[in-house]
Structure 1
Amino acid sequence: MLLNLVFTPSSITPDAMVVQYTYWHLWCGKKDRSYSKLPFRLLAREYNTDITYTPMILAHEFIRSSVARDSDFTTCELERQRTPDGRQHALVAQFASSDPTEFARAAELIAPWVDGVDLNCGCPQSWAIKEGIGCSLMQRPEVVAEMVKSAKARLGPSKTVSVKIRISKDISETQRWIRVVEAAGVNFITIHGRTKSQRSSTPPDYEAIRSLIAGAKVPILANGDANHPSVLAEIITKTCAAGTMSARGILENPTVFASLAVTPVESVQKFMKYAVKHPIPFPLLLHHLSEMSAGVKGMNKKEKSRLMACRDLFDAIDFVEEKWGLGDFHDQTKT
């Protein structure tokens, strides 16, 4: 651990959720890509990740269709159990919505299988803004407050309700936004240190996050370029945040919260085990392998091309076995 810090939201039971410095979230702004499906969440759980998030789920679709629910959300008994080293792991369902009733209903439907729900107010994609969700909600703090109130009323004190936001060009606007949502009873807030128009090539504004934390009454988590153990420590130092959240960085190195600077081969082997037990679309599996292999030492361009030429799960298994071996893959996938 790079920081000996733990906070437990006051409205949640002690065993329900532990939020530590090693805090992560994984999401993609495009509706057709969901990188935080069950196999990768299970992998991250093994490497000191305290909380994992589902992909961003559209609440209005989730509440109206069992097919959508089955497609958007899968879990297993292992996901919320204590890890072998005794850590309590938590799962948060991430929703996109602009309607208090729909958000509350979606939260209620998923509640038995998660430890909390989160409202995404930070997605900068044009389709999200057009639909009145994501970053567009930064202009409507009162609506977000109503959504938080509605979800909390439906869920009760045993689950957390949180939000994820981006900073505004005028930090005073973000400060006001936070005050309004705090008054509604939000449990914690994650702040991405870029505005909705800034690309990932722009360094996140950690000083802005620090200034927002100084006036906040609830725990604040910092997000933005959390892609290396040394950067995680830097983020905590610069922002005084209660935790850090990683998105893009953890795709390449799912062990980043375990203070491992280089992706270990073991993590690729474990991912394959989980992907066989809990199948995901092959293009998504291949993307994960491509990201993780970029962080593993000894992967050359020819091998990278060969990996991307894999046509199905069996090709991918053969590639991993020939390149790195499969560890206890065969034994574990039988259980």
Structure 2
Amino acid sequence: MKMKIDVNDLFHDAKSNDTYVKVCAPMVRYSKVQFRTLVKNYGVDLCFTPMILADSFCQNEKARTNEFITTVNDSPLVVQFAANNVDDFLDATKLIYSYADGVDLNCGCPQRWAMKDGYGCALLSQPELIHSLLRTVRNNFPSNFSVSVKIRILHELKKTITMCQQLEKCGIDFMTVHGRTPVQKSGDMINVDSLREVCETVRIPVIANGGIKTLDDADQLHKTVKCSGVMAASAILSNPALFSGSNKTPFSCIRLWMDMKDKSEDRITFQCYHHHLVFMLEKILTKKQKQEFNNLGTFENVDIFLKRYVLNSYDYNISHNINCDIDDYVTCHFDDKITTKHSSKCRGCSKSVCYCICDKYDQNATTGNYFSSFVINNDGIEYMDSNIFDE
């Protein structure tokens, strides 16, 4: 078991110092352990995992292997699950309890596939279910293991306030409130007034989310709505040093990303390494250089490009004074009783006894391809699609 960090202490310490907790958002396929380690070197206090489907995590070994990797120093860490029933959410939380500092229920994802399957924003219309999910998990774990929820505001302020007050009564430790409604786009303005009303009404810490591009944006949002924390998503991908005050990705950050890859090349996919750099180099490369970089296909060619066009004047002997210890991975042991119970369920309807036509799910389950096929067929996310962010 990893040493626990009480997430509540982060909010208490921040309040004592008249500041706020700086948070890296849960982002599909991008909030992996390597990136979490990177941003914690540049002012981030708290990281979330990507949103993980609780049912797939319980049922499928490949899902657990792909979606949850951690290290000894990967803390404080909150694991975010998408769940639409208590059994999945509770058992998924039990599986990761020894390796994380808290669990979060996603009630803010607006993607069509999530809404269709009763995840994310779909839960906002089922307050009784949300209450049951959160209350059950809260009652089954000690107080130093945080339980939280991430939501979006509703069209009506009164309903938003009522919802947040009801969530607080579930016994959760904090909530993240995205300042847009489920139907708004990522470029739309956030509703600052609603965020401020929520922060003034509830007594638990509130992390405000949406529209953060720079540290000044985060400072201003904290000052305006009096939130306990500020969460960044797309902007921190483009600039992992955002919370340290940098306006674009510093060379030291790029160099650290390369070092982390060298230390754990067997643990990081080329896609992950390359995609993150595409974001990081957005404000650094010319249009022609971007086209060339986007078409590179090997670790070696990426590093050659970086040394030639980006780090050609960088002093590699500079002492970073930052943590590059990404090789101390934790071997996660998941309870066989839980995983066996869920693996016997139908892949289509998630029931132990199947009453539907689920041949394609059963076939994928036996071959271990279900989780990958689910993402490919249902995610609807293209390369560099901004919809990967619940922002």
| TM-based fold match above 0.5 | yes
2:40 to 35, 40, 45: 45
Question: CA separation in 2, counterparts of 1:322 and 1:79?
Answer: 32
Q: Structure 1 residues 144 and 38, CA, compared in 2 at 3 Å: closer, same or farther? A: same
What residue ranges of structure 1 are gaps of 5+ in the alignment?
Answer: 1-11, 81-89
Letter in 1 for 2:26: W
CA distance in 2 between partners of 1:226 and 1:56 (Å):
20
Map 1:170-181 onto structure 2 (within 5 A). Answer: 170-181=156-167
Q: Structure 1: how far apart are the matches of 2:86 and 2:202?
A: 24
Asked if the contact 1:142/1:181 (under 8 Å) is kept, the reply is no
Q: How far does the alpha carbon of each residue in 1:138-185 deviate from its partner, in whole angstroms, 9 at most, with x for none? A: 111221111111112222212000111000001211212112221110
- Contact kept? 1:22, 1:48, Cα under 8 Å: no
Query: How far 1:14 sits from its partner (Å)?
Result: 5.4
Shift of 1:316: 1.2
Task: Choose the corresponding residue for 2:271, options 283, 288, 292.
Answer: 283
Q: 217, 231, 239: which is aligned to 1:253?
A: 239
The residue identity in structure 1 corresponding to 2:32 is K
Amino acid at match of 1:18: L
Distance (Å, rounded) in 2 between the aligned partners of 1:210 and 1:14: 26
1:61 corresponds to which residue? Answer: 56
Structure 1 residue 114 corresponds to structure 2 residue 113: no
Distance in 1 of aligned mates of 2:182 and 2:171? 25
Report which stretch shifted further, 261-270 or 44-53: 261-270
Tell me if 1:141 matches 2:117: no
User: Which of 272, 286, 292 pairs up with 2:280?
Assistant: 292
Superposition deviation, residue 246 in structure 1: 0.4
Residue in 2 aligned with 1:18?
10
Partner of 2:296: 310
Question: What is the deviation of 1:333?
Answer: 9.1
After alignment, is 266-275 or 187-196 more displaced?
Answer: 266-275
**Shift of residue 214 of structure 1?**
1.4
In our comparison, the structure showing a higher alpha carbon Rg is 2
Are the counterparts in 2 of residues 17 and 115 from structure 1 also a CA contact under 8 Å?
Answer: no
Cα distance in 1 between the residues matched to 2:280 and 2:40: 16
Once the two structures are superposed, the pairs formed by residues 1-335 of structure 1 within 5 Å of their partners are 18-19=10-11, 20=14, 21-28=20-27, 33-80=28-75, 90-278=76-264, 279-296=267-284, 299-323=285-309, 324=311, 327=316
Matching residue of 2:380: none
Query: Runs of at least 4 residues of structure 1 off by over 4 A?
Result: 12-17, 332-335
Q: CA RMSD in A?
A: 2.3
Output the CA distance in 2 between the equivalents of 1:25 and 1:333.
19
Residue 84 (structure 1) aligns with:
none
Q: Give the CA deviation at 1:107.
A: 0.8
- Shift of the 333–233 alpha-carbon distance from structure 1 to 2, 3 Å rule, reads closer
Q: Is the 8 A contact 2:104 2:150 kept in 1?
A: yes
What is the CA-CA distance between 1:22 and the residue it aligns to? 4.0
Q: Percent identity?
A: 31
Deviations 1:232-251 (A, max 9, x none): 11111221101100011100
Q: How many residues align?
A: 308
Q: Distance in 2 between matches of 1:228 and 1:22?
A: 15
2:378 — aligned with what? none
- Report how far residue 13 of structure 1 moved: 6.7
Return the alpha-carbon distance in structure 1 between the equivalents of residues 119 and 7 of structure 2: 32
- Counterpart-to-counterpart distance in 1, 2:6 and 2:137: 20
Aligned mates of 1:108, 1:276 — CA distance in 2: 33
Distance 2:198 2:247 in 1: 30
User: Given the superposition, is the C-alpha separation of residues 26 and 302 from structure 1 closer, same or farther in structure 2, using an over 3 Å criterion?
Assistant: same
Q: Which residue of 1 aligns with 2:355?
A: none
CA–CA separation in structure 2 for the residues paired with 1:157 and 1:304: 48
Matched residue SS, 2:158: helix
Deviates more, 1:259-268 or 1:112-121: 259-268
1:191 deviates by: 0.5
Task: Give the 3 Å change call, closer, same or farther, for CA 214–55 of structure 1 in structure 2.
Answer: same
AA of the residue aligned to 1:283: Q
Conserved 8 A contact 2:214-2:242: yes
Deviates more, 1:139-148 or 1:39-48: 139-148
Q: Which amino acid aligns with 1:168?
A: L
Report the CA distance shift for 1:176/1:308 in structure 2 as closer, same or farther (over 3 A).
same
User: Structure with the greater relative contact order (CA < 8 A, sep ≥ 6): 1 or 2?
Assistant: 2
Give the TM-score, by structure 2 length. Answer: 0.74
Q: Deviations over 1:82-110 (max 9, x none)?
A: xxxxxxxx111011001112111111110
8 Å Cα contact 2:108-2:152 kept in structure 1: yes
Which SS does the other structure have where 1:164 is aligned?
A: strand
